Structure 1
Amino acid sequence: MNTSVPRRVTAVAALAALALGGLTGTGASARPAEAAGAAAAPDISLTAVKQHLTDLQSIATSNGGNRAHGRAGYKASIDFVKAKLDAAGYTTSLQTFTTSGATGYNLIADWPGGDPNQVLMSGSHLDSVTSGPGINDNGSGSAAILETALAVSRAGYQPSKHLRFAWWGAEELGLVGSKYYVNSLPTTERSKIKGYLNFDMIGSPNPGYFVYDDDPTIEKTFKDYYAGLGIQTEIETEGDGRSDHAPFKNVGVPVGGLFSGADYTKTSAQAQKWGGTAGQAFDRCYHSSCDTTANINDTALDRNSDAIAHAVWTLSAGSTTPPTGKVFENTADVSVPDNGAAVTSTVNVTGVTGNAPSNLAVGVDIVHTYRGDLVVDLVAPDGSVYSLSNRSGGSADNIVQTFTVNASSEVANGAWKLRVQDKASADTGYINAFKLTFP
């Protein structure tokens, strides 16, 4: 977390208590129930997150004791994260910028699938200050979203929204990397980001449980998670405007996030609520050489990592613009031969005036034991082909997803086909249903 942006000072304790309905207690180990209709998020392994932190510590130790912008330790950190994401099936890209006379790097990772017009983005800054390795600030947030991204891959998760993860450079110099990313996006691309989640310091050794009070839906998602653990939260004010959510918020993107505290002092009331030591900073090693792997509270890191996964799964599960209007569906089963010829399921669209929409909702329900074998296309009445899935999703089962297709160049009425081909041997399945929804 950088210190170059002014802090907001405001009284919020009463508001936080009111929002939580007076909930008390320090929490339990049980995970809360997932929201109705949302797929259950996996438990994020504390051991795995801590291993990422150990690796980041080793990188800093081998590169002058830090991972700061313009230093070898930062580029090594970026390369470390990128390699793990590439191996997990993400589409990654490095965005470069120049500040303070040195090249900076943002790492952007997109998970294949989901509605490209509805993006849920999660980010953390990966750079440290020059005075230390930056394990809590902000190895903690970076490691947690890395492990969440890897959990998405392991689960073969295919949400309604498109998932994007980011690791920002030069945050400690004034949010430089995230500002560059946001300012480089065309307005149409910005409008596709339906939520940005920020995680900057989530394993503080004397932790608090703070939630950003920006977008109400995102805020409620995190608060509900902690309420399910019996943990009171407070509104995050110490770092407001000081981290990478600020550039997104400034252009109208809904934002939210978690924070476990930096150099502010924990009060007696907070210590009673969360444990720890009153009268001491949440992180006494903030921006110091002692911000090492020893500067982490495992319980806070574990809870916050699980809360991140809960939010990613919950907020990506549903469409913010559910389709309504005329529905055309074929529920007849069509067998998909193993490593064989393509097969089709057809719906006949009638009674729709003019062309198809730019947001045609294509509902796909394919039962298959290895989705990574499948090539799935939408074929318009004139034979035009729109790719929906091209052997993506790895070893996960099934493709049950609604895709959004810009079919505005096609006449709406006619025979539309879902075309599926199995391109490898040993796994079988069938088309269970195919549906088009015209708004």
Structure 2
Amino acid sequence: MKTIALSALGLVSLAGMAHADKTLNPVKIDPLLIDTEPYRFNGVVLTDEVRGSGFVAWNQRAFFTAAHVVSSLGGDDTEATLDWGLPPDWVPMNNSDTADTEATIPSRGYYRFKSYEALAEAQKAVNGSAFSRDVVLGFAFEDLIPGTPAVLNTNGYKDIRGNVTTMITGYPAVNFYTGEDIPGYFLHQTGPGITPYAVDFGRAMRTSLVTTGSGNSGGPLWVQKGASWVASGVLVGGLPSETIVYAFSPDVNALTKSVAPIVKPTPATPVSVGGVGATSFFFPMTKAKKIPDGVARYTDFRFNVSRFEEGAAVTKVHLNLDISTPHQGDLLVVLQGPGGVATIVHKEEGGDEDDLVIDDKDFSEAFSGIYANGPWTVRVQDRLKGDIATVNKIALEIGVDKASGTTTPTP
């Protein structure tokens, strides 16, 4: 079981609160409802140190959670620094004493608002300014839940200010109002009820008479529309007497637009969206190209990487490659990064074996510490005559642990 770390930006308990009934306290849901809406959209989000909640909305391969679930603040109050963690694990529709490891899906990355980092570092304590951008959109290369995702309500910031029925779901580990632990990974709901939210700071919205607990950070705020529930925000913080959510608005379209090319069945070229950052970017090539037969000259497939902060250093390089050929042994394949750093991907191995398929192979060590931005090239030669090789698909993943680019690369 993962440990629980209470982020400085997360939910904070008040010791010594009197025990009393509270409007919209977290209540464990009936297990028979786990496969129904909106409960089936929920999941546990696990990092090495933190347990959080999340939900699948907009796309089956994408989930929302709170930014502070995958980041942490270090340093003192005057020199706080934000570190972004590795992509977390997703555990769909969990409802048991332990997280279902057999159902766990490792996510591949997440996109975030760059402004969150500056807001979080400006004030280390709980504050509305950081909550106003406290959301990330994670993704995987497989469906995170069966069936359609939840509807994304980009008018959430307007809807929750009125007398509408709302509900928060997720996996709290503590009931902050009573101060009692909630063992296991059981899905809870806080509500439904009518509790209007008021603007706290930007898209951070606050209400009283709602309580939940650590572990529920990143869980969804639902708004009831007719017989349906629509995802209208993300739980980001609170106290026993109040709850704060990041409320969805058209701003969140910047995250979905960034992730959209990656989660397609056939990944497309990434788009550049202002104000959005990530720890990994993917660069695909899906237009088939024949390689000259028996010619001692490389055919180059070039990817111009410029998506990271200036000076960011490489920590992750993964390659997917699909080449049709009757003889693998004819092929020489090299991956080259900025500054000419290169590694051999395939060197005429395989003899008479056909088709060279490389599935998500890790070449991180060969490029660790070089600049992430710059030209990356997959170079292919067919060194023996007699048959034609065709490059069908390339997908290159470049990643950095710190999207802020604070590390010092080796040119």
TM-score in terms of structure 1 length: 0.25
**Which structure shows the higher strand fraction?**
2
- Larger RCO: 1 or 2 (CA < 8 Å, sep 6+): 1
TM-score in terms of structure 2 length: 0.27
